[in-house]
Amino acid sequence: MIGFAIFGAGFIGTVHATNIAAHPRAHLRYIYDVNRRAAEQLAQRLRSTVASSPEEIWSAADVDAVVIASSTNTHATLLSQAIQAGKAVYCEKPVDLEIERVKSVVQEARQSPRPIMIGFSRRFDRNHLAVHEAVQQGEIGKVEMVLLTSRAQEPPPLSYIQVSGGQFRDQTIHFFDLACWLTNEAPVEVYAAGAALVDPAIGDVGDVDTSMLILKMPSGALCHIDNSRRTTYGYDERIEVFGSRGMVQSRLKPLREISLYRDHQVISPGPYPSWFERLEPSFATALDAFIRVLEGQQVVYPTLLDGLRAQLIAEAALLSLRQNVPVKITYWQPA
Q: Is it the case that residue 111 has pLDDT exceeding 90?
A: no
C-alpha to C-alpha distance for 291 and 26, rounded to whole angstroms: 8
Please give the share of the chain, as a percent, with pLDDT higher than 70: 100
C-alpha to C-alpha distance for 319 and 326, rounded to whole angstroms: 9
Q: Check: CB of residue 320 under 8 Å from CB of residue 327.
A: yes
Q: Is 239 left (phi over 0), alpha (psi -120 to 50) or beta?
A: beta
CATH code assigned at 219: 3.30.360.10
Q: Does residue 40 belong to any structural domain of this protein?
A: yes
Burial call 199-226: b when 16+ CB within 10 Å, e when fewer: beebeeeebbbbbebbbbbeeebbbebb
DSSP element (H, E) containing 319: helix 304-323
Q: Which domain holds residue 180?
A: 126-279+303-328
C-alpha to C-alpha distance for 208 and 214, rounded to whole angstroms: 16
CA dihedral 316→122→70→105, nearest 10 degrees, is -50
Residue 267 — very low, low, confident or very high, per pLDDT cuts 50/70/90?
confident
Q: Both 67 and 178 in a single domain? A: no
Domains held by the chain: number? 2
Q: Both 24 and 99 in a single domain? A: yes
How does pLDDT run across 120-177, given as a tens digit for each residue?
999 999 999 999 999 999 999 999 999 999 999 999 999 999 989 999 999 999 999 9
C-alpha to C-alpha distance for 188 and 143, rounded to whole angstroms: 16
Comparing C-alpha atoms, which of 194, 207, 232 is closest to residue 157? Answer: 207
Q: Both 110 and 131 in a single domain? A: no
Last residue of a domain, one of 60, 84, 114: 114
Q: Both 322 and 185 in a single domain? A: yes
How does pLDDT run across 59-88, given as a tens digit for each residue?
999 999 999 999 999 999 999 999 999 999
Last residue of a domain, one of 82, 114, 146: 114
